[in-house]
A and B are shown apart, each in its own frame.
Chain A
Amino acid sequence: MQFLIDNFAALTVTGLAIGAVYSLIALGYTFVYGVLRLINFAHSEVFMYGSFAAVWVVMVIGGHPGGSIGQVIFWVALMFVAAMAMSGLVAVLIERVAYRPLRKRNAPPLIALISAIGASFVLSETMGLREKIAGWFGLDDTLRPYVNNSRNNVPLPSIIKPQGVFSIQGYEVTNVDIFVIVGAIAMMIMLDQFVSRSRLGRGIRAVAMDPEAAALMGVNRDRVIRVTFLVGGVMAGAAAVFYLLKIGSTRYDVGFILGVKAFTAAVLGGIGNLRGALLGGIVLGLAENYGSALVGTEWKDVVAFVLLVVILLFRPTGLLGESLGKARA
């Protein structure tokens, strides 16, 4: 307990940073759930592909630690573009290959989960076997730096050196911490505005609220669903960049655990609810850190799940309640 009080600031800041990443990934789950009422199990791989795109683009342009401020901004911007494009693409691809055929066949919702699990295996193994796959096309030597060690961690070339900006309670809050927290929250606000103001956003809300009525009103459901996946994917891509800046490397199977955490965050906040995802992610990030401080790091995940159960007992639809439509997102 004393430890928690003494290091409250440090635990809070780092918890917020990882929580912000959970939030951004959780958005993808929440978005898809709101519109389709299904758990997009393959969303974790969307994140993973985004993280690889971000690493590769920095490798291609040759990012290095000594860049000037302008260069660093340029590199980070490119990372965002690459990761968001890749993640958006993969998300739309998953929708097209794993979900749309099922929707066309009126499949029960549970089978969509299986299809998504299959897609998740295929996607992560493809990344894990990229050296072999590149070898089929005779590209493994050309692409050597990108496919080497395909089952191991791949580092992001260091481009920002974390530096203390100000300190609270003896903890130096670094530029990376600030960028991740502020950036992620800004992303969420932008998305929130998109959903509540834009025409497409209205379409999404309409489908989430009542698909049949929306269809009668002339909303193209397939298009809305595609946009939903795209937006969720783009957010996962952004999350991948923030994650890389904070953690520094990625791996073909990095998505699984983060996906479980982010999904927990989405449910915690109220699945299908955008602001719920933000709140859920941050609560989860903080709870993990405070929990680790109180009962020991080995029980960190246990704390997170126990918290989830307790919250669901008292608020059966999450902290902020369900529904993309009703919560006036």
Chain B
Amino acid sequence: MRSTLKLAVPFAVAALALGACGTKGGDTTPAAGGSGGAKVCDQKIGMFGALTGPNANLGIYIQNGVNLALDDYNAKHADCKVALANYDSQGDPTQAPALAKSAIDDKKVVGIVGPAFSGESKAAYPLFNEASMVAITPSATNPALADNGWKVFFRALGNDATQGPAAAKYIKDTVKSTKPFVIDDASEYGKGLADIVRKDLGTSVVGNDTVQVKQTDFSATVTKVTASGADAVFYGGYSPEAALLIKQLRDAGFKGTFVVADGVKDQSYIDNAKAAAEGTIITCPCVPPDVAPEFQKAYKAKFKEDPNTYSGEGYDAATILLDGIGEGKDRASMLDYVKNFDKKGVTKQLKFDAKGESADVKVFAYKVEDGKIVSVGEIK
């Protein structure tokens, strides 16, 4: 038993030491804070999304936008800067809850930009909601997200339910397609959108197909499209697959119109599809000039590339939170501030409705012309 004693003694000592060190908290005085108090510095905003791993590109584009907004803010408030806390979920819903918890536990984090994807949003929002931490997603477009009753949910872009019908309308009325073909990428975003388009186009749809994210060879799909004699193709998905798909479609002699949505609206689509991208119609719930020229210039100066998918939304979401911090809001008072926010951002008028959706979302159509994305007007 001697050895046991030897081991037991340190434990006992440790226990005593803990007791001696005393306790904190547990009394009735509330935690410090409240908007009335002195100005609090070194606060943070969180960036929640995939920054490494296979889905990292979208997250990084958003993060770039957020960083730009922070630079703007910190240049104006050099005496009281705000820092960025990164929560790299790798787009994985499994990692999301623990990250959300750690953001909540960090008392300096005032609000979150993200989560970037719909899947991780579903995993993280319940926690944010319980902790009253505002989270403005710059990119998750699943319409059902707003129906969960999360009071902290805000979406800095239109959801699929506003964009889908507009895309269908454009295909019907402007492209005057009689034989549209609808393809999705089986992702929550792409399939959700494509299903709405399918429903709205109704019986005129000559064919449907589903590809997979990260697929590169679309020969079977291409054959289906060309065999169907389609005069327009709608693709619900992101730009890497869209670029390869249209390229392979054009190589196989497809002559119709290619219609895509905001997930494709970035320079890399044109860089990759090149000549095949010409004439592509892109619908987007974002106001032209979609990316304000100053924003575009500043972005290019800092990151040496053009703003990419959701960079502008990331910038806007961060700006809302930073404006709030500038007015001395803390985590608790931020919620009301964001609810009543109404200013022009780089992508649209930033204002939210009761469910946290962007209010007054107008869907615009853009067209790829001479390697540039140009606006061709609102879809009404």
Contacts and interface: CB of A to CB of B under 8 A. Distances in A.
A and B touch in the complex (CB under 8 A): yes
Interface of A: 3, 6-7, 10-11, 14-15, 17-18, 65, 128, 141, 144, 148-149, 151-153, 155, 158, 162, 164, 172, 174, 176, 246-249, 251, 253-254, 257-258, 288-289, 292-293, 296-298, 300-301
Interface stretch (B88-96, B120-128, B271-279, B354-362): B271-279
Interface in B205-249: 209-212, 214-217, 219-224, 226-227, 240, 243-244, 247-248
B240 A251 contact: yes
B72 interface: no
Contact of A293 (B186, B223, B251): B223
Given A128-B56, A152-B268, A249-B243, A293 B305 contact: no
Given A7-B223, A247-B248, A296-B209, 19 more contacts: A7-B227, A10-B226, A14-B217, A14-B220, A141-B304, A148-B305, A149-B57, A149-B271, A152-B240, A158-B275, A246-B217, A247-B216, A247-B244, A248-B247, A253-B214, A297-B211, A298-B210, A298-B211, A300-B212
B253 interface: yes
A10 B211 CA distance: 18
A75 to B, nearest CB: 16
B54 interface: yes
25 contacts: A10-B223, A11-B219, A14-B220, A14-B223, A17-B219, A18-B219, A128-B56, A148-B305, A149-B57, A149-B305, A151-B56, A153-B244, A155-B272, A164-B253, A172-B252, A172-B253, A246-B217, A288-B220, A289-B220, A293-B223, A296-B209, A297-B220, A298-B209, A298-B212, A300-B212
A297 B217 contact: no
Interface of A is mostly: helix
Nearest to A250: B216
A144 B212 contact: no
Contacts of B244: 153, 247-249
B60 interface: yes
A280 to B, nearest CB: 17
A30 B295 CA distance: 52
Q: Could you say which interface size class chain B belongs to?
A: 35 or more
B42 to A, nearest CB: 26
Contacts of A149: 57, 268, 271, 305
A172 B254 CA distance: 12
B224 A3 contact: yes
Nearest to A246: B217
A117 B305 CA distance: 32
A306 to B, nearest CB: 16
Contacts of A18: 217, 219
A297 to B, nearest CB: 5
A152 B222 CA distance: 23
Contacts of B272: 153, 155, 248-249
* Residue among B210, B227, B244, B305 with most chain A CB within 10 A: B227
Contacts of B222: 14
B217 A3 contact: no
Contacts of A15: 219
B283 to A, nearest CB: 22
Nearest to B309: A152
A158 B217 contact: no
B243 A293 contact: no
B227 A6 contact: yes
B247 A14 contact: no
Contact of B210 (A153, A176, A293, A297): A297
B267 to A, nearest CB: 9
Contacts of B212: 298, 300-301
A69 B248 CA distance: 23
Contacts of B271: 149, 155
Contacts of B215: 257
A301 B271 CA distance: 29
A11 B268 contact: no
A41 to B, nearest CB: 17
Contacts of B223: 7, 10-11, 14, 289, 293
* Residue among A148, A152, A298 with most chain B CB within 10 A: A152
A249 B244 CA distance: 8
A301 B209 CA distance: 14
Contacts of B247: 248
A141 B186 CA distance: 38
Nearest to A124: B54
A15 B252 CA distance: 14
Contact of B240 (A153, A246, A289): A153
A152 B219 CA distance: 22
B224 A297 contact: yes
A15 B268 CA distance: 28
A158 B220 contact: no
Nearest to A22: B217
Interface in B272-312: 272, 274-275, 304-305, 308
B274 A153 contact: no
Contacts of A3: 224, 227
